[in-house]
Amino acid sequence: MTDDDEHVRWHAARALGAIGPAAAEAAPALITALADPQALVRAHAARALGEIDDKDSGSFDALVKLLVDPEPVVRRAATTAARRVSPGPEAAVKAFAELLADTDPAIVVVALDAIVEQGDSAVPMLNAALKNEKAQYWACIGLTELGPKAAPAVDNLTALLTDNEEEVRIQAMLALAGIGEAARSATPALVKELSDPQVGVRYAAAFALGNIAAQGADAELEETAKTDDKFLKILATWALARANPDDEQRQRDAVALLLEGVQDPDERTRAASVRALAQLDLPDDVRDKVYEALLASPYPEVMPMAIEAVAARGAAVAGRAAKRLSDPKTRVAAVRVLSLMGPEAKDAVPALVEALKDSDPDVGSEINFALGAIGPAAKEAVPTLSSMVNDENEGLRYSAVFALGEIGPDAKPAGDALIANLREHRDDDPFLTLASALALSRIYPNSPNAAKTLVPILTAGLKHERSSVRAEIARALGDIGADAKSSVGALRDAVNDADEQVRSAAAEALDKIE
């Protein structure tokens, strides 16, 4: 653990972690290593402390400090380990609160991100932190990020609606909104906030009542909807429609008002109207008119907002989006909706393949990326994509290769064409060679023979000028595992890359390979 060679140090830390609780006497040395200048040493020391699980060594307090480490791989390791060695919720919240007391929000956000990454297991600590004045505001933000997973925190979030701080009340309401219908018990408390003197609080209350589809709040929402504040009027009318899905008149009133909002000069009002329309459960004929109006808006930012909002509805709208592919006027929007939906758009694959036949190259490239986003369920598109891996259009051939890689092992019929690219395009199109190698690494996972050919090409690609490409290659080498051992030297260099994503991907790849 004190060797001059960093690789010896992190291997030693990893070995101690593998021994587990029987290595408890090494805890002080590992705690010291949490301050090592090398990220891999810090990460493995943190993981080892988690595996040893010695709650009496002071390792918890030392690990908490690493939640703001500049390296993501270290933050993740420290967060996981701290959860394991935590001496209990009260101590965890105390340490969390001390960390959040830092006046630099950038530091706080880094720590909060590391905690939220833990998913369900972060909820108990964040829930307990709602009772700590120093930590409650940031705990609300973390719970908002977790959405429905934060349901166990409803009671404590509801209690914060009487807090003296406006910002705390607003953030608690946003967290309740993120939880959705499981937060309906907060309805009476939210209704009271509709009459708060602060307009921001009233906005948050109406928004939360709409998201939870509150029952028993109609009278108060109707009164709120009489306001001259157009933004608040939109929120209250939408909340009424959400709470009364079978009331056709309320639905029509909401649609009419929200369509006005889409054309409003105020960007905030337009954004709220688009998202609200997407969340209403409308009949198909009404929804078609709504989407046509959204896509015809003169405001350029409305289309991407509409696409994102529609895609969030998932498989329920996949069929209707697929039908739009046949019309060149609506094709681009439909492709982008399906791309954002990813695997949920699997039923649209035949329509996407058909749309490729008469699309220009730019739209064709977007279709290919949508097929890639759908992934293995898009295997029906493999023959069409295979025919495009050497297309004269650069965008088409790159996007086709990408899609085949995302489809994975079911894309083996395209293997010969991609393998040919490794030999034939090293000089005239080196990126096509590299992209083909990436795709093949996904199509032939766990294949030592494939690794012999692909690893040297991928290793050379770690010097590519684009950081996103370097990060993707590092991840691919990590997925290959032990068969990528020859790339270890280049990955060690990449751990010191100028880009954070590359450093993190390289560190994790080394861990998998070694």
- Asked if 151 contacts 182 with a C-beta cutoff of 8 angstroms, the reply is yes
How far lies 105's CA from each of 65, 497, 512, in Å? 16, 26, 34
Which amino acid is it at 273?
S
pLDDT value at residue 90:
66
How sure is the predictor about 170, in pLDDT bands with cuts at 50, 70 and 90? very high
- Please enumerate in sequence order all residues whose Cβ is within 8 A of that of 314, keeping only pairs 6 or more positions apart, or say none: 341, 344
Q: Where are the alpha helices (DSSP H) in 132-198?
A: 136-146, 154-159, 166-179, 187-193
Highest mean pLDDT among 128-132, 186-190, 276-280, 496-500: 186-190
- Please enumerate in sequence order all residues whose Cβ is within 8 A of that of 124, keeping only pairs 6 or more positions apart, or say none: 89, 152
The span from the CA of 26 to the CA of 466, in Å, is 41
> 10 Å Cβ neighbour count for 80?
17
pLDDT value at residue 315:
83
DSSP E strands in 85-172: the ranges are: none
Q: Could you tell me the maximum CA-CA distance found in the chain, to the nearest angstrom?
A: 75
- pLDDT tens figures, 385-433: 999 999 999 999 999 999 999 999 999 999 999 999 888 766 678 899 9
pLDDT value at residue 173:
98
In the predicted model, what is the mean pLDDT of residues 196-210?
95
Tokens of 17: 């972690």
Could you tell me if residue 155 is left (phi over 0), alpha (psi between -120 and 50 degrees) or otherwise beta?
A: alpha
- pLDDT tens figures, 33-83: 999 999 999 999 999 999 998 877 788 888 988 888 888 888 888 888 887
DSSP E strands in 199-252: the ranges are: none
pLDDT value at residue 457:
94
pTM: 0.70
Give the helix, strand, coil percentages of the chain, each rounded to 5: 80, 0, 20
- pLDDT tens figures, 143-166: 999 999 999 999 999 999 999 999
Q: Radius of gyration of the chain from Cα atoms? A: 27
How sure is the predictor about 283, in pLDDT bands with cuts at 50, 70 and 90? confident
The backbone torsions φ and ψ at residue 394, rounded to the nearest 5 degrees and listed phi first, read: -60, -45
